[in-house]
Every structure is written in structure tokens, then in C-alpha cells.
């Protein structure tokens, strides 16, 4: 599977450098059907779930608030993330189209990294949103406005290729703020406010960090384990994010219910 995502690149005989690349697919034939089915399932669920979140937020004026704008933007990024990676992986497996133009390979690599960095920075802004909600709840409406959210989204799009660490900083600040709270009832409310975002951050960061840090530290990782970690960090979050946010959010749940019951 690594060879699909991080392919072995071979220059075909008789071709000039940079013309086309060959992706060597290292999946046994008896495993190919299973991998295709899993990837197709993940892609369908990702597209349906994220499109549903975007449509629900657009159609419901009550959801035109900072938190839901962030969630719908994350859904758009996840749509792009899934569409950049999974269709090509499926085409390699289904059609055996292992020869890829060099320009297309570079474009896909740029899009994958840019989308990942956009999501990372957007999660940082969402962490800041939760930080203000926890530490300064009375000032939240005046600090986090729709205008601030739109500016943050533009920054995530433009400068996403540069920044990666602010997200973890705000996560640490949220944890420290929660520890300093003495009221058990308020601690429970803080946990309820932040647990969804913290889970999404963990799902996005932990597999990717392990897949890069462990080899750099000299830890030998079996190919199969590396494959699983990389896939968990790039393919699974776009599928899980809409499920996580919709299951724990009453407003989105109610809007989805009204959307489908209204058509009956």
C-alpha cells in the first residue's frame, strides 16, 4: 500500500527524465479486492458525510455561526483530501494504471501537502475558538465573530504550507485551563465542549506523527504497520470528522433530521 501513497518511482527505459513515472504497487492479488472495497467504502462515506454537513450548514441560517462555519470548512477540506488521494489509489488498483506523468505526480503531491497543512491550521483556529469558549466564555461572542472566522479560513488557505505547530499550542493551553478550573460542574462542561475537537486532532496528528517520527528516531517499522499509520492519518479522518461532529452536536443532528423529514 505504501507504494500507492508513497510510490516507488522508476524511470521507464527510453524516456527522458521527468516525462513519466511508474508506481510499483506492492499489494498481493488476494488482498486487492479487500483493499478496493475498503477504500471505496471510505470514499463514499467521506463524500456523503462531508457534503451533508456542508449542505446542512448552508441551508440552515441558525448554523451561520463561527463554530459551524469552521465545521463546514473542515468538511470542504476533507472533501478535497479524499478526492486527491483515494480516486488515484483506486485507479491504480482497478485499472493497473501505474504509469503517471511527472507533472501529475508533482501536482498531486502539492495538493496532498497543501490540503493537509490547511486542515492542520484550520484545526488550530478551531482550537483557539474552543480556548476562548473555555477561558473567556462571556467575551466569546465579541472575540470570535464571523468576520474573524473568514479571515482565519483565508489565512489557513494562504499560509497553510508554512505553519503546523499552533494547533498543538492551543491544545496544551486548553488542557491547562481545564486543570485550573475548580468547579466539577464547569470541568464537565469544558470537557464536553472540547472533547470532540481533541479527538479529531488526535485522529489527524497521532498516526502521521508516528509514521514520520519513529523512522527518524531509528525505530524499524514493518511496511504493513507504516501503511496503516499513514492511511489512518490521511484517509480515515475525512470519513470520521462529519460523524464525530454530527453525533455530538444537537443543532447539526436536528438540522439533518429536518432536512430529510421535510422532503417526505
Distance CA 25, CA 2 (A): 8
User: For residue 160, what pLDDT band results from cuts at 50, 70 and 90?
Assistant: low
Across the chain, what does the average pLDDT equal? 74
CA-to-CA separations, 33 to 29, 39, 83, 226, in angstroms, rounded: 8, 10, 20, 20
In the prediction, which pLDDT does 179 show? 56
Residue 10: pLDDT over 50: no
Q: Which residues make beta-bridge pairs with 21?
A: 100
**pLDDT (tens digit per residue) in 98-146:** 666 777 777 877 788 788 888 888 888 888 888 888 788 888 889 899 9
Of the given ranges (120-134, 186-200, 229-243), which has the lowest mean pLDDT?
186-200
In the prediction, which pLDDT does 19 show? 43
Distance CA 264, CA 213 (A): 52
Distance CA 248, CA 196 (A): 7
In the prediction, which pLDDT does 264 show? 56
Q: 82: buried, middle or exposed (CB in 10 Å: 19+, 13-18, 0-12)?
A: buried
Task: Decide: 35 and 94 in contact? Cβ < 8 Å.
Answer: no
3-class secondary structure per residue, 155-208: HHHHHCCCCCCHHHHHHHHHHHHHHHCCCHHHHHHHHHHHHHHHHHHHHHHHHH
In the prediction, which pLDDT does 18 show? 42
User: For residue 85, what pLDDT band results from cuts at 50, 70 and 90?
Assistant: confident
SS3 264: coil
Provide DSSP, 96-136: ---EEEHHHHHHHHHHHHHHHHHHHHHHHHHHHHHHHHHH-
User: What integer is the mean pLDDT of 232-261?
Assistant: 82
User: For residue 209, what pLDDT band results from cuts at 50, 70 and 90?
Assistant: confident
**pLDDT (tens digit per residue) in 88-101:** 888 877 877 666 67
In the prediction, which pLDDT does 54 show? 94
- The total number of structural domains in the chain stands at 1
Q: Answer with the residue of higher pLDDT: 207 or 185.
A: 207
**pLDDT (tens digit per residue) in 167-180:** 455 555 555 555 55
In the prediction, which pLDDT does 35 show? 81
Q: Answer with the residue of higher pLDDT: 184 or 73.
A: 73
CATH of the domain at 113: 1.20.1070.10
In the prediction, which pLDDT does 104 show? 76
Question: Which domain range does residue 21 map to?
Answer: 2-261
Residue 30: pLDDT over 80: no
Amino acid at each position: 500500500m505504501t507504494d500507492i501513497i508513497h510510490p516507488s518511482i522508476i524511470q521507464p527505459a527510453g524516456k527522458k527524465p521527468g516525462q513519466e513515472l511508474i508506481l510499483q504497487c506492492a499489494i498481493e492479488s488476494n488482498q486487492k479486492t479487500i483493499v478496493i472495497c475498503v477504500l471505496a467504502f471510505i470514499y463514499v462515506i467521506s463524500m456523503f458525510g462531508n457534503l451533508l454537513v456542508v449542505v446542512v450548514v448552508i441551508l440552515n441560517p441558525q448554523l451561520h455561526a463561527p463554530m459551524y462555519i469552521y465545521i463546514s470548512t473542515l468538511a470542504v477540506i476533507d472533501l478535497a483530501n479524499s478526492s486527491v488521494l483515494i480516486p488515484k489509489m483506486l485507479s491504480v488498483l482497478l485499472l493497473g494504471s501505474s504509469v503517471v506523468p511527472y507533472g501529475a505526480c508533482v501536482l498531486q503531491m502539492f495538493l496532498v501537502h497543501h490540503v493537509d497543512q490547511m486542515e492542520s491550521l484550520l484545526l488550530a483556529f478551531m482550537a483557539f475558538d474552543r480556548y476562548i469558549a473555555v477561558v473567556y466564555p462571556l467575551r466569546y461572542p465579541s472575540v470570535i465573530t464571523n468576520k474573524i472566522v473568514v479571515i482565519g479560513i483565508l489565512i489557513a488557505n494562504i499560509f497553510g504550507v508554512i505553519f503546523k505547530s499552533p494547533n498543538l499550542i492551543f491544545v496544551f493551553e486548553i488542557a491547562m485551563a481545564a486543570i485550573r478550573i475548580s468547579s466539577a460542574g464547569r470541568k464537565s462542561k469544558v470537557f464536553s465542549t472540547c472533547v470532540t475537537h481533541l479527538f479529531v486532532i488526535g485522529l489527524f496528528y497521532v498516526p502521521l506523527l508516528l509514521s514520520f517520527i519513529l523512522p527518524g528516531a531509528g525505530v524499524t517499522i514493518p511496511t504493513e504497520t507504516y501503511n496503516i499509520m499513514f492511511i489512518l492519518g490521511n484517509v480515515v479522518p475525512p470519513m470520521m470528522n462529519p460523524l464525530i461532529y454530527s453525533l455530538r452536536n444537537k443543532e447539526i443532528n436536528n438540522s439533518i433530521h429536518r432536512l430529510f423529514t421535510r422532503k417526505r
